[in-house]
């Protein structure tokens, strides 16, 4: 274990030195915030691997599990309590790293969220995450006991209605736990937004603004929800910090996501990927169970001692498939950009909107391809700026 921790420490040193001093950063900002953010992102990605490996190798969870099994007789109670305790431990271990990310954003003036507010939000997110995972562990154990060979398929089928329910109610119940959502403020900007959205068949009551100015100075907008709860959300930082032309171009981009049903495509992709992940997890777990159950102390396939192993394998599988998710996301973002460009007569505000976004977020305009493949849900801002500039040049030549 000491050797593993030593290797990981060396990895972290190389990672932070590379992004801190070696990596060529292309940014409007006078800081290396974007580069340091890459280092933090890859630290955050790999940290759970080391923690879970530590639990597996050192058997840190064994004593806790023995106590739970002696104290509680019902399997579902054992599963839920173990899930709560185990995931709470993981969250608390990760808290210092999460705090580093918060501090980085504060130091770079990306965030101005008070520490107390951040801790409350972190706590709410953690509680929701812990409860959901604890329930999943209990459900997983029950399903594996009843369907030892096809548990992955049964678990996937069971998750479908739950996933749709969460996606449907997220805009109503989940998102408001963290942010304040209101209707657009009256004025000429609202009239222009409502008019542009109306041309695409989007009603006013499906457009909201969210109060983010208390936390950050960056700009953003997004589409969320499905069915009757599908909506466009605009950050108040964008509404107050951009010109009307810039806001309308960003809105046109989000309208493209709305009318081209990208949320539904994303949900379909999630469902397809989840069944592949669960099938792969089942195959790998079967190999581990056959060849290492004695060493891991597994008495049955549904043994709670398998939880750290399953979580570790799942995180590896999610990392391996992440480039596919990101590629599909970037394709949809490029499609939305094209739609916005085609539906905007004056592209100068569009150009300025992305330039403003790059300045406010202190983004890397031209990240290396391998970083894009591993981390980027959107095309790099440098690419998006060049696309608009190219269209402007083309229109000038045609006039």
3-45 pLDDT, tens per residue?
A: 888 999 999 999 999 999 999 999 998 899 999 999 999 999 9
pLDDT for res 336: 94
In percent, the amount of the chain with pLDDT more than 70 equals: 99
Split into its structural domains, the chain has a count of 1
Mean pLDDT throughout 94-112?
Answer: 94
Average pLDDT over residues 124-145: 91
Q: Whose CA is closest to 90, among 142, 40, 116, 53?
A: 53
Q: Which carries the bigger pLDDT value, residue 132 or residue 35?
A: 35
According to the model, what pLDDT value does residue 13 have?
97
List phi, psi (to 5°) of 93.
-65, -35
- Among all chains, which residue has been given the structure tokens 């998102």? 175
Give the catalytic positions in this structure.
254
Residue 214 belongs to a domain: no
SS3 208: strand
Region 337-345 average pLDDT: 92
Region 287-296: mean pLDDT is 86
Is 291 within the bounds of a domain?
no
163 part of a folded domain:
no
Mean pLDDT for 245-266 is 90
* Average confidence score pLDDT of the chain: 90
In terms of DSSP bridges, do strands 207-210 and 231-235 run parallel, antiparallel, or are they unpaired? parallel
Given a cut of 90, is residue 127 above it in pLDDT?
A: yes
pLDDT of residue 294: 83
Any domain includes 46: no
Residue with tokens 């996501």: 257
Domain membership flag for residue 312: no
Tokens at 148, concatenated: 């030892």
* Cα of 191 vs its chain's centroid, Å: 33
Residue 131 lies inside a defined structural domain of this protein: yes
Please tell me which residue, 350 or 166, carries the higher pLDDT value: 350
Is residue 318, in this structure, part of any structural domain at all?
no
The answer, yes or no, to whether residue 221 has pLDDT greater than 90, is: no
Domain with 98, as residue range(s), is 61-146
Q: What integer is the mean pLDDT of 176-193?
A: 89
Q: Is the pLDDT of residue 63 over 80?
A: no
Q: Is 73 left (phi over 0), alpha (psi -120 to 50) or beta?
A: alpha
Residue 137 domain-assigned? yes
Return the structure tokens found at 152: 């992955």
Which residues are bridge partners to 216 per DSSP?
111
Q: Are 151 and 282 in contact (CB under 8 A)?
A: yes
């Amino acid at each position: 274990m000491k050797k593993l921790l030593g290797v990981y420490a060396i990895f972290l040193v190389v990672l932070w030195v590379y992004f801190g001093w070696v990596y060529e950063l292309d940014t409007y900002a006078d800081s290396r915030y974007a580069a340091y953010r890459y280092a933090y992102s890859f630290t955050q990605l790999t940290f759970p691997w080391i923690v879970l490996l530590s639990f597996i190798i050192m058997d840190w969870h064994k004593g806790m599990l023995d106590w739970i099994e002696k104290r509680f007789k019902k399997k579902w109670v054992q599963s839920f309590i173990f899930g709560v305790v185990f995931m709470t431990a993981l969250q608390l271990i990760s808290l210092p790293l999460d705090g580093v990310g918060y501090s980085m954003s504060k130091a770079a003036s990306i965030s101005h969220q008070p520490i107390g507010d951040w801790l409350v939000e972190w706590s709410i997110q953690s509680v929701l995450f812990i409860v959901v995972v604890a329930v999943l562990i209990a459900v997983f154990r029950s399903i594996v006991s009843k369907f030892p060979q096809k548990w992955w398929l049964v678990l996937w089928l069971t998750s479908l209605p739950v996933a749709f329910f969460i996606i449907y109610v997220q805009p109503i119940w989940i998102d408001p736990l963290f942010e304040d959502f209101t209707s657009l403020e009256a004025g000429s900007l609202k009239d222009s937004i409502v008019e542009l959205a109306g041309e695409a068949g989007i009603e006013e009551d499906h457009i909201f603004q969210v109060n983010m100015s208390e936390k950050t100075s960056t700009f953003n907008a997004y589409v969320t929800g499905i069915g009757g709860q599908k909506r466009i959300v605009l950050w108040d930082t964008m509404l107050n910090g951009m010109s009307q032309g810039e806001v309308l171009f960003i809105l046109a981009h989000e309208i493209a996501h709305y009318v081209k049903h990208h949320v539904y495509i994303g949900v379909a992709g999630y469902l397809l990927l989840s069944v592949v992940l669960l099938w792969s997890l089942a195959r790998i777990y079967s190999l581990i169970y056959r060849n290492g159950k004695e060493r891991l102390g597994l008495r049955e396939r549904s043994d709670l001692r398998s939880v750290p192993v399953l979580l570790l394998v799942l995180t590896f599988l999610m990392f391996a498939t992440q480039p596919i998710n990101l590629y599909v996301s970037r394709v949809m973002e490029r499609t939305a950009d094209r739609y916005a460009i085609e539906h905007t007569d004056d592209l100068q505000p569009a150009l300025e909107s992305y330039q403003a976004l790059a300045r406010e977020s202190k983004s890397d305009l031209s990240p290396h391809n391998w970083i894009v493949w591993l981390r980027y849900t959107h095309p790099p801002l440098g690419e998006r700026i060049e696309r608009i500039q190219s269209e402007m040049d083309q229109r000038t030549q045609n006039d």
